[in-house]
């Protein structure tokens, strides 16, 4: 009754777009054409489930052979066809193909709040994957956003200079690249992540005595959305209120800019616990939507 099929995803696979349109979100449709915007160097692996000739399930994964890593981007079985081991078949099929490509690291992100999340977790546990909290994602409507702490009269200590990130000098940029190589700051807070998408209007840096000691980097996700990606200050400044000043000033610039939506992402595995506590108290209560992302992962030894 059910047939597992390997899908040939490539630039000519327009028929896949039509056949699986109802099973794949529009923002992920490029995966059916063999393209992953998050990792242009990867190849796309895909399997579908057919009930007679009707597509009822699909799994899409991005496979980076250089990093020996596979990221499952989309995993879906139509609700009417669940509880029949179809999800297991899709997952096992794509894992077997990935192993043949010398892939050893496997990842999947999913929101914990969805009605289908427990069923997905059961499948993952059945195949011995581990699960951990990964990220909190907050969505804000700029037209209605307001929180008391951004109106406080923050001041930098004498000698500190805030500037728009687009004004970063060539010498300063080179020095930060050197510091990144030397691991002077974690890779997760690098100001050079997705550098071509940095939003110039409210990405800010902080200088002190000729050094860059902090930054808040935002990215333009689409014409109506700015993502707050990275907030960093040197460890000696953690408890000075300087990071709150940077964040508040960036938010005020966003409010003046009037871009409709703001997204704040808190990567739980990479940030200090004090930032998580601050976000839980001062940011999450004012969000229009809060999503808790879980990370499922597995490692297969070489």
For residue 16, pLDDT over 80 is answered with: no
- Please tell me whether the overall predicted TM-score, pTM, comes out greater than 0.85 for this model: no
- The answer to whether residue 116 sits within a structural domain is no
Q: Is residue 298 part of a domain?
A: no
How many domains, in total, are found in the chain? Answer: 2
pLDDT of 6 higher than 70: yes
Residues 184 and 253 in one domain: yes
Do 289 and 164 lie in a common domain?
yes
Given the DSSP bridges, would you call strands 130-141 and 105-111 parallel, antiparallel or unpaired?
A: unpaired
Does some domain include residue 110? no
**Per DSSP, what are the bridge partners of residue 43?**
63
Q: Which helix (H) or strand (E) holds 271?
A: none
**Final residue of a structural domain among 82, 103, 124:** 103
Domain CATH for 12: 3.40.630.30
**Of 75, 103, 131, which residue is a domain's last?**
103
Task: Over range 146-170, report the average pLDDT.
Answer: 91
Residue predicted with more confidence, 32 or 159:
159
Both tokens assigned to 15: 């028929």
Asked whether residue 114 is assigned to any structural domain, the reply reads no
Q: What are phi and psi of 199, to 5 degrees?
A: -80, 115
Q: Which of 77, 103, 129 is the last residue of a domain?
A: 103
Domain that holds residue 170: 139-293
Q: What pLDDT is stored for residue 235 in this prediction?
A: 84
- Same-domain status, 143 and 212: yes
CA dihedral 12→14→20→25, nearest 10 degrees, is 90
């Amino acid at each position: 009754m059910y047939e597992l099929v390997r899908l040939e995803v490539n630039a000519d696979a327009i028929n896949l777009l039509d056949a699986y349109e109802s099973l794949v979100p529009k923002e992920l449709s490029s995966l059916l054409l063999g393209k992953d915007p998050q990792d242009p160097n990867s190849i796309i692996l895909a399997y579908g489930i057919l009930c007679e000739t009707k597509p009822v399930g699909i799994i899409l994964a991005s496979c980076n052979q250089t990093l020996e890593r596979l990221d499952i981007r989309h995993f879906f079985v139509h609700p009417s066809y669940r509880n029949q081991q179809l999800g297991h078949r899709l997952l096992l099929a794509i894992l077997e193909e990935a192993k043949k490509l010398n892939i050893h690291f496997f990842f999947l992100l999913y929101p914990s709040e969805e009605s289908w999340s427990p069923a997905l977790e059961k499948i993952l546990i059945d195949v011995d994957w581990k699960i951990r909290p990964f990220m909190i994602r907050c969505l804000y409507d700029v037209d209605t956003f307001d929180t008391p702490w951004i109106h406080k009269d923050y001041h930098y200590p004498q000698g500190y200079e805030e500037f728009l990130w687009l004004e970063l000098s060539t010498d300063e940029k080179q020095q930060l690249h050197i510091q990144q190589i030397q691991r002077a700051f974690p890779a997760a807070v690098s100001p050079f992540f997705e550098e071509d998408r940095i939003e110039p209007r409210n990405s800010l840096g902080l200088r002190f005595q000729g050094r860059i000691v902090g930054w808040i980097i935002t990215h333009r996700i689409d014409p109506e959305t700015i993502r707050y990606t990275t907030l960093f200050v040197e460890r000696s400044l953690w408890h000075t209120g300087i990071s709150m000043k940077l964040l508040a000033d960036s938010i005020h610039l966003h409010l003046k800019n009037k871009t409709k939506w703001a997204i704040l992402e808190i990567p739980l595995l990479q940030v200090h616990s004090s930032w998580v506590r601050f976000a839980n108290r001062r940011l999450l209560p004012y969000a229009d939507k809060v999503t808790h992302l879980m990370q499922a992962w597995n490692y297969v030894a070489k």
